């Protein structure tokens, strides 16, 4: 669903997918209950606008390796989310989203932590996924805020 939305473009009507700036990303994520700790810097964010309902957002924030090691800071900033849990590249949180548009490529050596809010919903709408990654040199926080 996200990939289809990302390849669609609006025809002058404002609908479709487009990149948004840091301020718009901050406001959008705040409205979805996501707080990005100051250790992360804005990378890029895409907004998929819909005619009616909630828009979707897919983005990346970059940080130092210590941001991964101190993942408790991300959890504390987003206390309404379940605790971050380690996952593998085959987990649906990774394989079910088109993170590649943000420069993400999963490898076996990569460390991955994920938290989804709301957790464990069979047919989620408005689900937000926080995917924290480390390649050993840098940390990256990927955010997928699904709309409806």
pLDDT digit string, tens, across residues 88-116:
999 999 988 889 999 999 998 899 999 99
The span from the CA of 114 to the CA of 118, in Å, is 12
Contact 110, 133 (CB under 8 A): yes
Q: 43, exposed or middle or buried, with CB in 10 Å at 0-12, 13-18, 19+?
A: middle
Report residue 13's pLDDT band, with 50, 70 and 90 as the boundaries.
Answer: low
Place of tokens 């997918």: 17
Mean pLDDT lowest for which of 65-69, 75-79, 120-124?
120-124
pLDDT digit string, tens, across residues 31-59:
999 999 999 999 999 999 877 778 899 99
Task: Say which DSSP state 39 is in.
Answer: T
């Amino acid at each position: 669903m996200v990939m289809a939305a990302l390849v669609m473009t609006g025809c002058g009507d404002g609908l479709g997918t487009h990149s948004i700036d840091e301020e718009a990303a901050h406001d959008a994520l705040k409205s979805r209950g996501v707080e990005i700790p100051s250790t992360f810097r804005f990378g890029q964010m895409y907004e998929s606008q819909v005619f009616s309902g909630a828009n979707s957002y897919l983005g990346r924030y970059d940080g130092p390796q210590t941001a991964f090691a101190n993942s408790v800071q991300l959890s504390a900033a987003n206390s309404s989310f379940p605790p971050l849990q380690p996952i593998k590249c085959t987990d649906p949180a990774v394989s079910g989203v088109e993170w590649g548009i943000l420069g993400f490529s999963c490898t076996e050596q990569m460390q991955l932590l994920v938290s989804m809010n709301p957790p464990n919903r069979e047919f989620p709408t408005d689900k937000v996924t926080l995917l924290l990654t480390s390649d050993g040199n840098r940390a990256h926080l990927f955010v997928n805020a699904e709309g409806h």
